[in-house]
Amino acid sequence: MPLVARYGKSQKQLDDINSEIKDRLRKSVLQEAIQGKLVSQVPSDEPANTLLERIRVEKQKLLKAGKLKKKDIVDSVIFKCDDNKYYEIIGCKTLEISDEIPFDLPESWSWCRLASIAHYRIGKTPARGETAYWEPGTIPWVSISDMKAYGTVDHTKESVSPKATSLLGQKSPMGTLLMSFKLTVGRTAVLDIDAYHNEAIISIWPFAAQEALKGFLFYTLPVLANLGDSKDAIKGKTLNTNSINNLLIPLPPENEQFRIVKRIKELYVRL
């Protein structure tokens, strides 16, 4: 019987390893990706700080065109000084943020805040008691349960009525990057349909290098969002607007973003 008990314990350990190994390997791949260790750096690539400057120019264009409000422009510059400490310039203030930086990056990369490189919109849930918002339900409405991790959303369990558009505004178009920030923090998916979504999800649109950044954030936000300032909730963890804005993003050069995504896909196929 002692041998049977030992065998049972060993079998359970093996079963646990087998059930967790794919998830652990995926996390290891992503950890390498966000630290600039998954693919080689190419000296001829335009560095990330040049991309950040392009993003700043694009935000000013959107502001002048009335497509972006001044309050939505978040600009900060994060840099490493000769004293090996990290600083952030926000407006006229320079703050040391070394305690926020989890690791160093390759020379061609830059640290930045999510709100500096992308704008986002938080969804809404129409009042459940207002049946006119839900019937007849013809417009897809996404909840976290509709979002498969690293997947696409092509259908939803619930839909809202055309009347709900007066409350919800514009739909998020097909191709939009979604991220959950409540309970299941950091789950990402891409819309394969035009849809609305609830208040636990944000739609994310990069200001520039949209395709490269969308792919890079799609794979890395599940890790990066959980490095941020999350607060305990009744059923899990949650981010708020401030912590979403302040999520630290290790930004690679645009061309390297494409290479990273390609390599992640190659490795995930083998898992």
d(CA 80, CA 87): 6
Give the amino acid at 138.
Answer: T
Mean pLDDT of 14-30: 82
* pLDDT > 70? residue 112: yes
Instruction: Please list the residues that pair with 158 across neighbouring strands.
Output: 141
* pLDDT > 90? residue 7: no
pLDDT in tens, 125-147: 999 999 999 999 999 999 999 99
> How many C-beta atoms surround the C-beta of residue 271 within 10 A?
10
Whole-number pLDDT of residue 234 = 52
pLDDT in tens, 54-74: 999 999 999 999 988 887 787
Q: What are the distances in angstroms from CA 187 to CA 219, 220, 247?
A: 9, 10, 15
d(CA 169, CA 164): 8
CATH number of the domain at 46-270, out of 3.40.605.10, 3.90.220.20, 3.40.710.10, 2.40.50.100? 3.90.220.20
Pairing of strands 151-153, 188-191: parallel
- Provide the Cα torsion 31, 34, 268, 206; round to 10°: 140
Determine the Cα angle at 182 with ends 112 and 205, to 5°: 45
Per the structure block, which two tokens stand in for 99? 């305690």
- Report which of residues 230 and 173 the model is more confident about: 173
Give the distance from CA 58 to its chain's centroid: 21
Q: Where on the phi/psi map is residue 66: left (φ > 0), alpha (ψ -120 to 50), or beta?
A: left
CB distance 226 to 185 below 8 Å: yes
> How many C-beta atoms surround the C-beta of residue 76 within 10 A?
19
Structure pTM? 0.90
- In a 13 Å sphere around the CA of 231, the CA atoms on its Cβ side amount to 7
Mean pLDDT of 113-119: 95
pLDDT in tens, 194-251: 999 999 999 999 999 999 999 999 999 999 998 866 555 555 678 999 999 999 999 9
Residue 244, classed as helix, strand or coil, is helix
